[in-house]
Amino acid sequence: MKALYSTLIALATFVVFGPLAMSGPFPTWDKQFNSPSRFKVLKEFNNEAVFDKETGLVWEQSPDTDSSNWFGAQDRCNRLAAGNRKGWRVPMIQELASLVDPSAPPFPGLPSPLPGPTLPGGHS
């Protein structure tokens, strides 16, 4: 009886949330945009944010980089209203890594597989 009950809950969850998981714009990892056309300035955000066509993320166009630690950055995001929108967050390290140009020369003194801090064209 427990197995049947668990199966019915799983099936109901799939039916309810399955369409939500399949909807919405998801990044297409089959294309790389290493040009200024990768980022689209969002007029709906008062030109204060850009849409990254490669990852599907929205970035603040000119973020304040004065925060010296994670807690300061988190506090800034909690108070931020860029483009008259709240709900900003500190990006995950993998999201930040998506901005780094892997063809850039590495930092001096680091092993060569590590890219330099070069951002793709079109990012300010």
In 3D space, the residue among 28, 37, 30 whose CA is nearest the CA of residue 121 turns out to be 37
| pLDDT per residue of the chain (124 residues) written in tens, 0 to 9 | 656 555 556 555 554 454 444 445 555 556 666 666 888 999 999 999 999 888 889 999 888 877 778 899 999 999 999 999 999 999 998 888 888 776 666 666 666 655 555 665 555 4
- Name the residue among 50, 72, 52 with its Cα closest to residue 60: 50
Dihedral sign for Cα 64, 66, 69, 75, please.
negative
Residue whose token pair is 């799939």: 14
Q: Which residues pair with 60 in a beta bridge?
A: 49
pTM over 0.85: no
